Chains A and B, each alone.
Chain A
Amino acid sequence: MTIHEHDVVVVGAGGAGLRAAIAADEEGADVAMVTKLHPVRSHTGAAEGGINAALRDGDDWELHAYDTMKGSDYLGDAPAIETLAQDAPEEVIQLEHWGMPFSREDDGRVSQRPFGGLSFPRTTYAGAETGHHLLHTMYEQVVKRGIKVYDEFYVSRLAVTDHDDPEDRACHGCIAYDIKSGEVVGFRARNGVVLATGGDGQVFDHTTNAVANTGDGPAMAYRAGVPVEDMEFVQFHPTTLPSTGVLISEGVRGEGGILYNSEGERFMFESGYANNAGELASRDVVSRAELTEVNEGRGFEDEYVYLDMRHLGDERIYDRLENIIHLAEDFEGVNPVEEPMPVKPGQHYHMGGIETNEHGETCVSGLYAAGECACASVHGSNRLGGNALPELIVFGARAGHHAAGRDLGEAEVPTGPSAESESEDSLDTPVNPGALDASDSDVAADGALVEPDELVERAVETERDRIETMLESDGTNHAEIREDLQQAMTENVNVFREKESLKEALEVIRECRERYQNVAVSDPSRTFNTDLIHTIETRNLIDIAETITLGALARDEFRGAHWRREHQERKDDEWLKHTMIAWNDGSPQLYYKPVVLEGENKEYEPKVRSY
Chain B
Amino acid sequence: MSTQIQESETETETEETSEHQTRRLAEKRERADMAERAETDLSGADETARIKVFRYDPEVEGKKDPRFDTFEIPFTKGMTVLDALIYARDHFDSSLTFRHSCRQAICGSDALFINGRQRLGCKTQMVDLEWPVQIEPLPHAEVVKDLVVDMEHFYDQMEAVEPYFQTNDLPDGELEEQKQTRENREKVKMSTRCIWCSACMSSCNIAAGDNKYLGPAAINKAYRFAMDHREGEDMKEHRINIIEQEHGVWRCQTQFSCTEVCPKDIPLTEHIQELKREAVKSNLKFW
User: Across the interface, do B104 and A244 meet the contact criterion of CB distance under 8 Å?
Assistant: yes
Q: A144-B164, A211-B103, A331-B104 are in contact. Are A109 and B177 (CB under 8 A)?
A: yes
B180 contacts the other chain (CB 8 A) = yes
Contact string against A for B residues 72-89, beta-carbon threshold 8 Å, 1 for contact and 0 otherwise: 000011111001000001
Residues of chain A within 8 A of B145, CB atoms compared:
525, 527-528
Report the count of interface residues on A (CB-CB < 8 A).
74
Among B28, B76, B155, B193, contact of A243 (Cβ-Cβ < 8 Å): B76
Query: For chain B residues 64-106, which have a beta carbon within 8 Å of chain A?
Result: 76-80, 83, 89-91, 94-95, 97-106
User: Across the interface, do A42 and B83 meet the contact criterion of CB distance under 8 Å?
Assistant: no
User: Across the interface, do A211 and B101 meet the contact criterion of CB distance under 8 Å?
Assistant: yes
Residues of chain A within 8 A of B103, CB atoms compared:
210-211, 244-246, 331
Which chain A residue lies CB-closest to B91?
Answer: A479
Query: A526 CA to B122 CA in the complex, in Å?
Result: 26
Q: Which of B54-62, B207-215, B244-252, B279-287 contacts A (4 or more CB under 8 A)?
A: B54-62
User: Across the interface, do B164 and A210 meet the contact criterion of CB distance under 8 Å?
Assistant: no
A437 contacts the other chain (CB 8 A) = no
Query: A129 CA to B266 CA in the complex, in Å?
Result: 15
Which chain A residue lies CB-closest to B35?
Answer: A333
A40 contacts the other chain (CB 8 A) = yes
Query: For chain A residues 465-479, which have a beta carbon within 8 Å of chain B?
Result: 477, 479
Residues of chain B within 8 A of A136, CB atoms compared:
192
B178 contacts the other chain (CB 8 A) = yes
User: Across the interface, do B101 and A525 meet the contact criterion of CB distance under 8 Å?
Assistant: no
Residues of chain B within 8 A of A103, CB atoms compared:
185
Report the count of interface residues on B (CB-CB < 8 A).
73
User: Across the interface, do A330 and B105 meet the contact criterion of CB distance under 8 Å?
Assistant: yes
Query: A406 CA to B193 CA in the complex, in Å?
Result: 36
User: Across the interface, do A140 and B95 meet the contact criterion of CB distance under 8 Å?
Assistant: no
Query: A401 CA to B237 CA in the complex, in Å?
Result: 35
Query: A199 CA to B78 CA in the complex, in Å?
Result: 26
User: Across the interface, do A42 and B107 meet the contact criterion of CB distance under 8 Å?
Assistant: yes
A143 contacts the other chain (CB 8 A) = yes
A523 contacts the other chain (CB 8 A) = yes
A514 contacts the other chain (CB 8 A) = no
Among B25, B95, B104, B106, contact of A525 (Cβ-Cβ < 8 Å): B95
In angstroms, how far is the closest chain B Cβ from the Cβ of A609? 31
Residues of chain B within 8 A of A43, CB atoms compared:
101-102, 107
Query: For chain A residues 67-112, which have a beta carbon within 8 Å of chain B?
Result: 89-90, 93, 96-99, 101-110
User: Across the interface, do A141 and B144 meet the contact criterion of CB distance under 8 Å?
Assistant: no
Query: A37 CA to B106 CA in the complex, in Å?
Result: 13
Query: A34 CA to B159 CA in the complex, in Å?
Result: 19
In angstroms, how far is the closest chain B Cβ from the Cβ of A38? 7
Q: Which of B8-16, B168-176, B268-276 contacts A (4 or more CB under 8 A)?
A: B168-176
User: Across the interface, do B95 and A522 meet the contact criterion of CB distance under 8 Å?
Assistant: yes
Residues of chain A within 8 A of B228, CB atoms compared:
99, 101
User: Across the interface, do B94 and A522 meet the contact criterion of CB distance under 8 Å?
Assistant: yes
Determine which residue in B79, B83, B106, B188 has the highest number of CB atoms from chain A within 10 A of its CB, and name it.
B106
B125 contacts the other chain (CB 8 A) = yes
User: Across the interface, do B174 and A45 meet the contact criterion of CB distance under 8 Å?
Assistant: no
In angstroms, how far is the closest chain A Cβ from the Cβ of B206? 24
Residues of chain B within 8 A of A90, CB atoms compared:
174-175
Interface of A is mostly: loop
Query: For chain A residues 1-54, which have a beta carbon within 8 Å of chain B?
Result: 37-38, 40-43, 45-46
In angstroms, how far is the closest chain B Cβ from the Cβ of A49? 14
Interface of B is mostly: loop
User: Across the interface, do B175 and A37 meet the contact criterion of CB distance under 8 Å?
Assistant: no
Among B77, B106, B159, B225, contact of A333 (Cβ-Cβ < 8 Å): B77
Residues of chain A within 8 A of B97, CB atoms compared:
523, 528-531
Which chain A residue lies CB-closest to B182?
Answer: A104
User: Across the interface, do B175 and A524 meet the contact criterion of CB distance under 8 Å?
Assistant: no
In angstroms, how far is the closest chain B Cβ from the Cβ of A124? 10
User: Across the interface, do A99 and B230 meet the contact criterion of CB distance under 8 Å?
Assistant: yes
A320 contacts the other chain (CB 8 A) = no
A127 contacts the other chain (CB 8 A) = yes
Residues of chain A within 8 A of B26, CB atoms compared:
none
User: Across the interface, do A528 and B148 meet the contact criterion of CB distance under 8 Å?
Assistant: yes
User: Across the interface, do B58 and A527 meet the contact criterion of CB distance under 8 Å?
Assistant: yes
Query: A528 CA to B104 CA in the complex, in Å?
Result: 23
Determine which residue in A46, A107, A144, A530 has the highest number of CB atoms from chain B within 10 A of its CB, and name it.
A530
Residues of chain B within 8 A of A55, CB atoms compared:
175
B261 contacts the other chain (CB 8 A) = no
User: Across the interface, do A531 and B35 meet the contact criterion of CB distance under 8 Å?
Assistant: no
Q: A46-B102, A137-B165, A525-B95 are in contact. Are A244 and B83 (CB under 8 A)?
A: yes
Among B174, B181, B225, contact of A93 (Cβ-Cβ < 8 Å): B174
Which chain A residue lies CB-closest to B94?
Answer: A531
User: Across the interface, do B94 and A527 meet the contact criterion of CB distance under 8 Å?
Assistant: no
Q: A37-B101, A96-B178, A325-B28 are in contact. Are A477 and B148 (CB under 8 A)?
A: no
Residues of chain B within 8 A of A523, CB atoms compared:
60, 94-95, 97
Query: A554 CA to B144 CA in the complex, in Å?
Result: 48
User: Across the interface, do A477 and B94 meet the contact criterion of CB distance under 8 Å?
Assistant: yes
Which chain B residue lies CB-closest to A92?
Answer: B177
A65 contacts the other chain (CB 8 A) = no
A552 contacts the other chain (CB 8 A) = no
Query: For chain A residues 482-522, which have a beta carbon within 8 Å of chain B?
Result: 483, 521-522
Among B28, B94, B148, B175, contact of A479 (Cβ-Cβ < 8 Å): B94
Contact string against B for A residues 116-144, beta-carbon threshold 8 Å, 1 for contact and 0 otherwise: 00000000000101001100110011011
A443 contacts the other chain (CB 8 A) = no
Residues of chain B within 8 A of A338, CB atoms compared:
32
Residues of chain B within 8 A of A96, CB atoms compared:
177-178
User: Across the interface, do B78 and A244 meet the contact criterion of CB distance under 8 Å?
Assistant: yes
A566 contacts the other chain (CB 8 A) = no
Residues of chain A within 8 A of B52, CB atoms compared:
none
User: Across the interface, do A334 and B109 meet the contact criterion of CB distance under 8 Å?
Assistant: no
The contact sample of 14 A-B pairs, CB cut-off 8 A, is A41-B101, A46-B104, A97-B170, A101-B228, A133-B192, A136-B192, A140-B165, A211-B103, A244-B80, A326-B28, A521-B94, A522-B95, A527-B57, A527-B144
Q: With A46-B104, A318-B25, A333-B77 given, can you name 11 additional A-B contacts, CB distance below 8 Å?
A: A45-B107, A97-B177, A101-B189, A103-B185, A109-B179, A132-B195, A180-B144, A241-B78, A329-B125, A333-B78, A338-B32
Q: Kindly list the 6 A-B residue pairs having the minimum CB-CB distance in the complex, ordered from nearest.
A: A99-B165, A108-B179, A523-B95, A140-B164, A144-B164, A243-B78
Which positions in B face A, CB cutoff 8 Å?
A: 21, 25, 28, 31-32, 35, 57-60, 76-80, 83, 89-91, 94-95, 97-109, 122-125, 127, 144-146, 148, 151, 155, 159, 162-167, 170, 174-182, 185, 188-189, 192-193, 195-196, 225, 228, 230-231
Which positions in A face B, CB cutoff 8 Å?
A: 37-38, 40-43, 45-46, 55, 89-90, 93, 96-99, 101-110, 127, 129, 132-133, 136-137, 140-141, 143-144, 180, 210-212, 241-247, 318, 322, 325-327, 329-335, 338, 477, 479, 483, 521-531
